[in-house]
Amino acid sequence: MTTKDSTAPIDIRVKTARWLFYLSLVQVVGFFVVPGFIFPVKYLLYLEILAALTLGVFIALFFLAVNAWCLLIDRKRSVLYTTMIAISGGWIAWAIISWLFIEHMDYLLK
Amino acid sequence: MIIRHPFLRAMLIFLGSWVVAVVVLLGLYFAWLRDWQMNWGASSDEVARVMPGDELFDDPTFNATRAVEIAAPPEAIWPWLVQIGYKRAGFYAFDRLDNAGIPSAERILPEFQDLKVGDSISLGGIYVNVREMIPDSLMLWVFLPNEGPWNGATWSWGLYRVDDRHTRLVARLRQDYALTSLPETIRWGLLDATEIFMMRTCLLGVKHRVEGGT
């Protein structure tokens, strides 16, 4: 007769994972939105790209780690987490490739 | 104390993870990454080699020596160095940030080839003075007095022939930090970790242009 109690801890872990996902998602969105209130529109896109390739790599790594953890705990949303892992993984790969071959990255240099 | 509310647990994990991440990143940066980025591309001999301007600082807190090898003789690289500057040939780096959006030169510009000792070059808001120059070999820039963090810093360029077709381009930037306040410290912290992106891109930009034209 332990059905209700034994499922409670699992439920809290799933809910915690989901809140953590929301917090890290807000962080990612905020990372791109907040500069819009600080910098002139003229430079905004360029600064956003440079930010995404520098500080943003840490944001992406954090987001990837959160989604990997959520994927282990909350199987019901595995498609969402897998998609986010793919996006953040692509973000990190884009940054690595950009810095390795920066002299050929005309969109960054011009 | 066990926190049972999922949001509070998530917030605790979120903030705790960032605290751990920042501590680990700072540890990694000062233990390994800083030395690597400060000497990016340079051999131990190049780091130890005396360059113009070294005598101006005994033991600077910022002491960066970066290098690339270029498949060209020094005399083919020199014209690309002397034309560097804001609204001159640019910095071969992030034009929208450091050259008012004007594309860096893709060719040697004759009008900027007569640089000589005593000349000043704009870096965009701040100026450097050409203090020493040996054509096809060495050049020393000293930052003129300014309100920014590079006040009095030195930036030296060296071209060292490897063989008839290869040259090492070495750039050395030195400055003593003035950590007089928290904002200064934060500003220096950001500069310390991000200046490499501009310098590395600049050096690779020179290499790309010289090798593209040979």
The model's pLDDT over B155-170, given as tens digits with 9 standing for 90+, comes to 999 999 999 999 999 9
Mapped onto helix, strand or coil, the DSSP state of residue B121 is strand
Give the Cα separation of A56 and A92 in Å (integer).
9
Question: Please, is B19 exposed, middle or buried when counting C-beta atoms within 10 Å of its C-beta (0-12, 13-18, 19+)?
Answer: exposed
CB contact under 8 A, A15 and B6: yes
Q: What is the pTM of this model?
A: 0.88
Q: What are B106-149's pLDDT values in tens digits?
A: 999 999 999 999 999 999 889 999 999 999 999 999 999 887 78
Determine phi and psi for A101, rounding to 5 degrees. -120, 40
Question: Please, is B111 exposed, middle or buried when counting C-beta atoms within 10 Å of its C-beta (0-12, 13-18, 19+)?
Answer: exposed
CB contact under 8 A, A62 and B197: no
- The reported pLDDT for the residue numbered B207 is 97
Contact residues on chain A for B95, CB-CB shorter than 8 A: 109-110
The residue behind tokens 């033991």 is B59
With the C-alpha atoms ordered A65, A66, A71, A73, is the resulting torsion angle positive or negative?
positive
B138-143/B154-163 β-pairing: antiparallel
Best of B4, B13, B97, B210 to substitute, by most chain A Cβ atoms within 10 angstroms, is B13
Give the Cα separation of A103 and B204 in Å (integer).
6
> What is the number of other CB atoms lying within 10 angstroms of the CB of residue B81?
19
CB contact under 8 A, B208 and A43: no
Token pair of A19, please?
A: 């809140």
DSSP secondary structure, B167-179, as one string: EEEEEEEEE----
Best of B94, B194, B199 to substitute, by most chain A Cβ atoms within 10 angstroms, is B94
CA nearest A53 in B: which residue?
B197
Mapped onto helix, strand or coil, the DSSP state of residue B35 is helix
Contact B90, B209 (CB under 8 A): no
ipTM for the assembly: 0.83
Give the Cα separation of B77 and A82 in Å (integer).
48
Give the Cα separation of B82 and A66 in Å (integer).
49
Q: What are B47-61's pLDDT values in tens digits?
A: 999 999 999 998 899
Contacts of A22 (CB under 8 A, 6+ apart): B10
pLDDT digits (tens), chain A, 110 positions: 444 455 555 688 999 999 999 999 999 999 999 999 988 888 888 899 999 999 999 999 999 999 999 999 999 999 999 999 999 999 999 999 999 998 888 888 87
Q: Which of A43, A54, A62 minimises the CB distance to B96?
A: A43
